[in-house]
């Protein structure tokens, strides 16, 4: 009986700290990534003076600082786009972490 109660409480606590709109977040991040790679492809095409394909642009894009872009996209989504942002404890925690605070204020 005690084990079942602890298990139930653990599940409740875990559900409150999960992203409430994780599927929408992933879809949104994929769209942001594709748009960023496409913009990078156009930039490379102009810079190199020749057509640059998607795969070449994606390789070049991935060699850059994708982590900070992903963090910026997450802050933007959690703070402005997500319909669950008012009730999602993970969003509140993420937006108030010191690691992304400057991105949130700037973005």
Q: What confidence score (pLDDT) does residue 65 get? A: 77
Q: What confidence score (pLDDT) does residue 107 get? A: 45
Domain housing 37 = 21-106
Domain presence at residue 2? no
Q: How confident is the model at residue 85 (pLDDT cuts 50, 70, 90)?
A: confident
Domain presence at residue 78? yes
The answer to whether the beta carbons of residues 74 and 19 sit under 8 Å apart is: no
Q: What confidence score (pLDDT) does residue 12 get? A: 41
Interval 17-73: pLDDT, tens: 577 778 888 899 999 999 999 999 999 999 999 999 999 999 999 988 777 888 888
Number of domains comprising the chain: 1
Q: Is 41 left (phi over 0), alpha (psi -120 to 50) or beta?
A: alpha
Domain presence at residue 1? no
Q: Residue 9: how many CB atoms within 10 A of its CB?
A: 10
Domain presence at residue 37? yes
Q: What confidence score (pLDDT) does residue 4 get? A: 52
**Burial label, 41 (beta-carbon count in 10 A; 0-12, 13-18, 19+):** buried
């Amino acid at each position: 009986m005690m084990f079942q109660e602890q298990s139930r409480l653990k599940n409740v606590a875990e559900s409150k700290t999960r992203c409430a709109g994780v599927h929408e977040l992933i879809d949104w991040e994929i769209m942001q990534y594709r748009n960023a790679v496409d913009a990078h492809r156009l930039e490379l095409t102009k810079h190199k003076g020749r057509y640059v394909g998607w795969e070449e642009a994606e390789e070049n894009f991935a060699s850059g600082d994708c982590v900070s872009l992903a963090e910026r996209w997450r802050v933007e989504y959690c703070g402005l786009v997500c319909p669950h942002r008012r009730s999602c404890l993970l969003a509140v925690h993420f937006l108030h972490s010191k690691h992304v605070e400057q991105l949130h204020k700037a973005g």
